[in-house]
Structure 1
């Protein structure tokens, strides 16, 4: 189930990376201070964290993401049950991948889509799953998630909550909760 969920999310993210036009890589993203390329670089870097080694880089973000993806998929098969150390405590590698980089593919996929004018629709099952996970985080941990650098230099799990209308879609409520402004089209 975890490997299948990761694969589906990686397929969607890879399609978004493949659709970025060469002149769009410097477009600003909803992630403060990151361009479209920096969003993809972050996702690749987080894949390296999951497998415990940096991802080899080329000049092509699509090639680099495919390498990162392959490495995570191989780790899920060969080391999925292996216990790893995480900021949330020890857990199986497959759970860490599922809770971090797999979820990142969804949220940063939206960031990349917004930055490059692609379809921003997140699958309803992903919206529901991420919403349930986000709102179940205890307040003291959520405060840490929203504090830049709390998990290491340059790492910000969620930004400050962005208010959205009470009748907004669950996708928009999720995005606002994790610090994205789903209504802003001007990046």
Structure 2
């Protein structure tokens, strides 16, 4: 699967979750500390802009705003711009690799957050769980500490929360969620 294909599949799933949110649910708390369901979507849209180096225009419609952010990222991923080198906190990499490692993975984890906040199906595709587990657990301890430190990558940015203990024999999705700072068991955000 290409990076653009992986992004497209994850964006499809996230877009469907946005479409399924009822208007009265936008203010519901999410598993992300201090964020509502709407703020989870706003964050994802903001991160699309960060990847592109420009803010995504906003309206009063989160679904339309996400679709625009998605369109812009897909345009970049399917153009010569994808191979352009960009500066990142992890060092220089191509734009497509940066999208793949940040915003594409965000679609999976924040898709779970949005599903939890709004009572939707929380199942993450097994291939995504395995890929994100391998990526997260490969982060060196000193960098993981930085990932868990609020503000380490800029004001208001927290990559992962404090690890939530999960039994070793729990399903891999639960272990992944606990590792990145989410409580897969408690339904309280």
Q: Counterpart of 1:55?
A: 56
Cα deviation digits, residues 45-75 of structure 1 (max 9, x gap): 0000011100000000000000000000001
Structure-2 separation of matches of 1:185 and 1:114 = 7
| Cα deviation, residue 186, structure 1 | 2.0
Mapping of residues 4-153 of structure 1, within 5 Å: 4-78=5-79, 79-153=81-155
Cα deviation digits, residues 9-31 of structure 1 (max 9, x gap): 00000000000000000000000
| Cα deviation, residue 44, structure 1 | 0.1
Instruction: State the TM-score, normalizing by the size of structure 2.
Output: 0.98
Structure-2 separation of matches of 1:153 and 1:6 = 26
Cα deviation digits, residues 118-172 of structure 1 (max 9, x gap): 0000000000000000000000000000000000000000000000111110000
Runs of at least 5 residues in structure 2 that lack an aligned partner in the other structure: none
| Cα deviation, residue 77, structure 1 | 1.5
Structure-2 separation of matches of 1:135 and 1:89 = 19
Instruction: State the TM-score, normalizing by the size of structure 1.
Output: 0.99
Aligned length: 187
User: CA-atom RMSD, angstroms?
Assistant: 0.4
Structure-1 separation of matches of 2:104 and 2:140 = 21
What is the DSSP-based 3-state SS (H/G/I as helix, E as strand, rest coil) of the residue aligned with 1:165?
Answer: coil
What is the DSSP-based 3-state SS (H/G/I as helix, E as strand, rest coil) of the residue aligned with 1:151?
Answer: coil
Structure-2 separation of matches of 1:97 and 1:4 = 12
